[in-house]
Structure 1
Amino acid sequence: MQDLKAELTQNLDEAEWEWLIPHVQRDAVILVPIELDLLNVGIAIASDNTPQVQQWIDEQLLAKPSVAQIGEWNGDRTKRFNTLIVQPYVLIQEK
């Protein structure tokens, strides 16, 4: 688990919305709310912690960006997000 955490920590980054659009188009972006720690969510997904991930989904804490959110972000393509790639997903969190 320590190795996974270290590996994912190295993958934490920031990205502008414009850079994320291709990932949205391939339906690979997951929006993580600010209440959740992005790294902990990444670890849960990467380690196949299905009960925890399902709980977040059931509580509507993890979701694909809505059409309204995408429209809003398309209006400000330089908006920045914290990001974490956990193949095949790109986890994003508004800054």
Structure 2
Amino acid sequence: MAVTTWAGLLAGDDGESVRLAVYSDRSIQVEGLFGGASVSIGGSNDGVTYHRLTDTSGEPLVFSSGGLKQIVELPVFLKPWLIGGDGTTNITVTLAGRRSI
């Protein structure tokens, strides 16, 4: 099991990308003070161009409040980014990955 945490994300921040391609089962948890922000979870195979990922229902991984969802796609790189927000925005995003057996 691998766990990566991006803590203290403020309005307009992007999290540093992580490379967890060996973990085929992944979930993302988002918590904190949103202050009007939303959090998107992006993936990339080249580490340059990121696309919004989806959950098991095919819905985009976008959080406007706290939650926990599984990630469907298996890109090489993952990162969160915040859209909007105000001076109260302070978000923690936690990614967990598990190797399939």
Higher helix share: 1
TM-score range for the pair, normalised by the shorter chain length:
under 0.3
Q: TM-score, normalised by structure 2?
A: 0.26
Q: TM-score, normalised by structure 1?
A: 0.27
Higher strand share: 2
